Amino acid sequence: MPVYDYRCEFGHMQEAYRLVDRRRDLLMCNKCGYSMYQIITTGFINGMKGYPYFDGVLERRIDSPGQKRSLLKKLGLEQKC
């Protein structure tokens, strides 16, 4: 299921997994409760596909595969996929 980026009128941003045909359904901001609208972002920055992104499990911004590997090692974790 694809992930989409949303922003409310106060600038809070949020990601949500949605079916393609439901991506424009109403989404409420977790911080202020106002409705959010879908924004278009890019997954290509400096030639790195999919980076940067916010990892919800690690609760950190990930800028590269190497950074993620280093962070997982530091936390004593390993990636299983």
The predicted-structure confidence for 8-48, as pLDDT tens digits, reads as follows 999 899 999 989 888 889 999 999 999 999 887 655 444 44
User: In terms of pLDDT, which residue wins out, 58 or 15?
Assistant: 15
- Tell me the pTM: 0.51
Q: Looking at the structure, do residues 26 and 61 belong to the same domain, yes or no? A: no
Cis peptide before 65 (omega within 30 of 0): no
Number of domains in the chain: 2
Domain carrying residue 34: 1-41
- What is the enclosing helix (H) or strand (E) of 8? strand 3-8
Q: Looking at the structure, do residues 35 and 67 belong to the same domain, yes or no? A: no
Beta strands 27-28 and 35-39, pairing class: antiparallel
Residue 6, domain CATH: 2.20.28
Q: What is the mean pLDDT of residues 57-79?
A: 85
Q: Looking at the structure, do residues 33 and 63 belong to the same domain, yes or no? A: no
Q: Nearest-CA neighbor of 2 among 15, 17, 12?
A: 17
Within 10 angstroms of residue 49's Cβ, the number of other Cβ atoms is 7
HSE (side-chain half, CA atoms, 13 Å) at 29: 16
